[in-house]
Amino acid sequence: MELALPHNLVLVLLLACGAGIAPPAAAAASGGGRWDILQHSIGVSAMHMQLLRNDRVIIFDRTDFGPSNLSLPDGRCRRNPHERVLPVDCTAHSAEYDVRTNAFRPLSVFTDTWCSSGTVSPDGTLVQTGGWNDGYRNARTMAPCVDGTCDWNETQDALAANRWYATNQILPDGRAFIVGGRRQFSYEFYPKQADHPSDAIALPFLVQTKDPEENNLYPFVHLNIDGNLFIFAKNRAVLLDYKRNKIVRTYPELAGGDPRNYPSSGSSVLLPLKPSPTEAEVLVCGGAPAGSYNATKDKSFPPALTTCGRIRITDAAPSWTIETMPSPRVMGDMILLPNGAEVAIINGATDGSAGWESANTPAYAPLIYRPDHAPGDRFEEQSASGIARLYHSSAVLLRDGRVLVGGSNPHVYYNFSNVRYPTELSLEAFSPEYLDRTNDVLRPAITDPSPTGAPASVTYGGSMTLQFSVPAAPAPSSRRAHGGGGGGGLGFVSVTMVAPSFTTHSFGMNQRLLFLDVLETAASSSTPGAYEVSVVMPATAVIAPPGYYLVFVVNGHIPSEGIWVHIDS
Ligand SMILES: *[C@@H]1O[C@H](CO)[C@@H](O)[C@H](O)[C@H]1NC(C)=O
Ligand SMILES: *[C@@H]1O[C@H](CO)[C@@H](O)[C@H](O)[C@H]1NC(C)=O
Ligand SMILES: *[C@@H]1O[C@H](CO)[C@@H](O)[C@H](O)[C@H]1NC(C)=O
Ligand SMILES: *[C@@H]1O[C@H](CO)[C@@H](O)[C@H](O)[C@H]1NC(C)=O
């Protein structure tokens, strides 16, 4: 897209945006946010979820649980004589949920996807890897479609090692980095390429962080702005130069030494990156004290951790800053909200750990964390859901700014009764406070590129102009427009770009939020009453790996609906 320079720069010229200088909510009610049930049952429990560029969410569970509540079409069945529960299973263990129509359909996955991982490749295809049993080393792809005909394509033994409880991170070259998994102290790449070994590469850090409870599974991985990979396991982290297989930085232990990875599942995000970032911060929240998983076997449920650790991973001598949540949480999902000013911590429990029947008290109310507020003023408890979302629940951001929540199956089977926390087949949406009607007067609406049209195509370092409107915006000649909230109108405008996460087991893999460099915000030269904001896309694939992102215009702290954008070189 070409950068359009409007002639009448009657509005203020905003050079570079900044996270966090936006004024607080114009109408922020405490205990904010709202819950809606979207579907009482989609038939499959949402252990893994990924939003694709067609506004469909691909959902899957494990395949060896016995019958789900969703039949496979056309007499299809999974026939596996080694299957413990159901040798002939004619039910689906994966589904496609269409956000726009609130409809779903069964998908066919025939080898076990239990506790697996994934990325979305640059062409928008979901690439899932690993699982269990007959699915340990498999790769499965799911290409997006709108006609209801696409389905999983499985490749047997595509991986070098069994990847069960592994983590994936998309790389600047578009491939997946796959690390860890049960009894796998190594990493590998997928797809395989000639310039990299096809075997698994040893990562001693995973041996060093293994304890008797294996509290280092599903490590938290973030692609740092220097191209290296931040890998957090148990209670500490390293920075891996995967091209040379060298640990280039070792981070200190997170104070207290409590484990944060499965089964002591906390969660983690790379905090929003500023334009042309020179620094990057990681936040790790919650988890369970060592010994919790063992304790739950004796029906004892120790309180979860209340602490978060925040660290500037780009520092040469980094240290953790400890913050305290208003309540303890294990198995929370951390989701970056599109205004770039808030992180939702959602789902999970206040005691116990991840694992079968291993938590006793659900955490029904999400928390919002505001990274740019003063320490001590960052957390706010939100309104509660009525549904327990324990082990095997998940959450993903949608294009409209809601957070889709599903799953919870803390049993070995699909038990819908006779258990304290039955298997959950429902889908819910959490609407953060910015979606409240009282914020409608401030809500930007992107009009060009069309939010429902084909994804806009952009290149690294290229420019893009977004046209948008704001209901209550005063005439463009009014300087009052930049007062920042008040009675409504145009406040500080920023533009964010979000990589949707592959979420499972309390971690949003590949999740990334970038503030784009805003060149200017001005009255539209072509459409009366509308505005144009011109931004520069990230300069490199290290900052934003190639693929599909959601782009939002944010007025103060109120985000528009997103548009899909495809970035590649
Ligand atoms: C699952 O399906 C059974 C049989 O159709 C039905 O009785 C039950 O209510 C369903 N359970 C849920 C949680 O949807
Ligand atoms: C499935 O994947 C394999 C391996 O990548 C590929 O050769 C084949 O064409 C794919 N099949 C379909 C139906 O897409
Ligand atoms: C947990 O139980 C295992 C198996 O009984 C034991 O080896 C391990 O030491 C225990 N770990 C902790 C932290 O209690
Ligand atoms: C859970 O479901 C399995 C398989 O249907 C069944 O064998 C088991 O008894 C159920 N457990 C409870 C507590 O109902």
Dump pLDDT digits (tens) for 482-515.
333 334 588 899 999 999 999 999 999 999 999 9
CB 155 near ligand 2, within 6 Å: yes
Pick from 33, 23, 7, 29: nearest CA to 493: 23
Give yes or no for residue 78 having a pLDDT over 50.
Answer: yes
E strands, 90-183, in order: 94-98, 103-107, 117-120, 126-129, 139-142, 153-155, 166-170, 176-180
For residues 87 and 218, the model is more confident at 218
| pLDDT 10s digits, 152-200 | 999 999 999 999 999 999 999 999 999 999 999 999 999 987 666 678 9
pLDDT at 473: 58
CB 20 near ligand 3, within 6 Å: no
| pLDDT 10s digits, 321-380 | 999 999 999 999 999 999 999 999 999 999 999 999 999 999 999 999 999 999 999 999
Q: What is the spatial distance between Cα 494 and Cα 557, in angstroms, rounded to a whole number? A: 9
User: Within the chain, which residue ranges are assigned CATH 2.130.10.80?
Assistant: 11-435
pTM: 0.92
Q: Which residue has the tokens 């690439």?
A: 127
**Residue 522 CB coordination number (10 Å):** 23
From the CA of 295, give the closest atom in ligand 3: 14
Looking at the structure, give the CATH architecture of the domain made up of residues 437-568: Sandwich (2.60)
Q: How far is the CA of 293 from the centre of ligand 3 (A)?
A: 9
For residues 25 and 267, the model is more confident at 267
CB 156 near ligand 2, within 6 Å: no
Q: Which residue has the tokens 């983690």?
A: 268
pLDDT at 214: 95
Query: Which 3-state string (H, E, C) describes 344-413?
Result: EEECCECECCCCCCCCCCECCCCEEECCCCCCCCCEEECCCCCCCCCCCEEEEECCCCCEEEEECCCCCC
Q: How far is the CA of 211 from the centre of ligand 3 (A)?
A: 9
Give yes or no for residue 280 having a pLDDT over 70.
Answer: yes
* Residue 7 and residue 526 in contact, taking contact as beta carbons nearer than 8 Å: no
Q: What is the spatial distance between Cα 126 and Cα 472, in angstroms, rounded to a whole number? A: 40
| pLDDT 10s digits, 429-463 | 999 999 999 999 999 999 999 999 999 999 999 99
pLDDT at 488: 54
**Beta pairing, strands 563-568 & 547-555:** antiparallel
User: Within the chain, which residue ranges are assigned CATH 2.60.40.10?
Assistant: 437-568
For residues 489 and 297, the model is more confident at 297
Mean pLDDT for 221-237 is 98
Q: What is the spatial distance between Cα 23 and Cα 341, in angstroms, rounded to a whole number? A: 10
Q: How far is the CA of 153 from the centre of ligand 2 (A)?
A: 6
- As given in the structure block, the two tokens for residue 128 are 């899932």
From the CA of 414, give the closest atom in ligand 4: 2
288 burial class (0-12, 13-18, 19+ CB within 10 angstroms)?
buried
Q: How far is the CA of 19 from the centre of ligand 2 (A)?
A: 43
Residue 425 — φ and ψ, nearest 5°? -110, 5
Q: What is the spatial distance between Cα 39 and Cα 201, in angstroms, rounded to a whole number? A: 43
pLDDT at 2: 33
pLDDT at 65: 87
Choices 3.10.450.50, 2.130.10.80, 3.40.1160.10, 3.20.20.330: CATH for 11-435? 2.130.10.80
pLDDT at 85: 86
Q: How confident is the model at residue 264 (pLDDT cuts 50, 70, 90)?
A: very high
pLDDT at 317: 95
Q: Look over the chain and give the mean of its residue pLDDT values, rounded to a whole number.
A: 91
